[in-house]
Amino acid sequence: MSRHADIRRLTAPDIRARKGGEPIVCLTAYTAPMAAILDPHCDLLLVGDSVGMVVHGLPNTVGVTLDMMILHGQAVMRGSRRAMVVVDMPFGSYEGSAEVAYANAARIMKETGCNAVKVEAGPTVAANIDYMVRRGIPVMGHVGLRPQAVMVEGGFKAKGKAGEERRLILDEARAAAEAGAFAVVVEGVAEGLAREITDAIPVPTIGIGASAGCDGQILVTDDMLGLFDWTPKFVRRYADLKAEIAAAAASYSADVRARTFPGEAETYFSNKG
């Protein structure tokens, strides 16, 4: 039997069944050790294409590649046991045609062993979601602020304030759910619209900067850990790790410079466990 046989992860139907029930806890993860820390506390770990900005220092997610997503997806699968792992499909890997979307999603699933993929469900993507779901790929949608649309939008902007845009976002969420998405991320919209979408679709909504009116929540983990000076306004910081890391690095630096660094060979394994 494979090692995976004894791991019972949450699945797309498990998450789908939580509609209107116990809130769904989601965070992003990009590495094996962080996935291991978060896993007991989360229902779903998203290997978000935010990895491009958070880990690789890119200005937005447009430059993220399929190979990057697969590498980080493999790491998160190795580190986690229980949470459902969803890997983002990067810009350019699913919008062009249903066949291309399916081939790239299948590659992600085969090479990482993840449970599902996520796509930013703009106006033309529902048909590709339908094609993938019918062929065995669980798909999560993403509406509202779509970070991969940053170039046409001219920045990261809250969405759905005006009537026409509001209707479009509601339609995109409905279309993603009708196409078979098992859940839909709703990003950067006001509470009224988040609640309207949550009431309108039969699958869970996962909010990010979209109020408590969703079936679950997701945050970029590094934001909520306080690793960056700037975070979006809606992010609550649950830790101040940037300051802690800087203080640790300063203490280490002081030890090394004072020749008081306790790293001799006898103590090499003493911190284990």
- The contact set with ligand KIV (CB under 6 A) reads 28, 46, 48-50, 88, 142, 185, 208, 218, 220
Closer by beta carbon to ligand KIV, 230 or else 268: 230
Q: Least distance from C-beta 24 to ligand KIV, angstroms? A: 13
Pull the structure tokens for residue 125: 């993507």
Closer by beta carbon to ligand KIV, 49 or else 215: 49
Closer by beta carbon to ligand KIV, 148 or else 253: 148
Q: Least distance from C-beta 233 to ligand KIV, angstroms? A: 15
Residue nearest to ligand KIV (CB): 48
CA distance 96 to 142: 17
Catalytic residue among 22, 120, 165, 187: 187
Closer by beta carbon to ligand KIV, 100 or else 224: 224
CA angle 208, 213, 215 (to 5 degrees): 75
Q: List alpha helices for the chain, DSSP H.
A: 12-16, 32-38, 51-54, 66-79, 98-112, 126-134, 150-153, 163-178, 191-200, 221-224, 241-257
CA distance 15 to 37: 21
Give me the amino acid identity at 106. A
Q: Least distance from C-beta 206 to ligand KIV, angstroms? A: 7
Q: Least distance from C-beta 156 to ligand KIV, angstroms? A: 10
With CA atoms as reference, report the closest residue to 242 among 231, 253, 232, 258: 231
CA distance 116 to 217: 18
Closer by beta carbon to ligand KIV, 160 or else 249: 160
Name the phi and psi angles at 26, rounded to 5.
-135, 145
Pull the structure tokens for residue 268: 């090499």
Token pair 């000076």 is found at 229
Identify whether 266 is a catalytic site residue.
no
Q: Least distance from C-beta 250 to ligand KIV, angstroms? A: 30
Annotated catalytic residues are 187
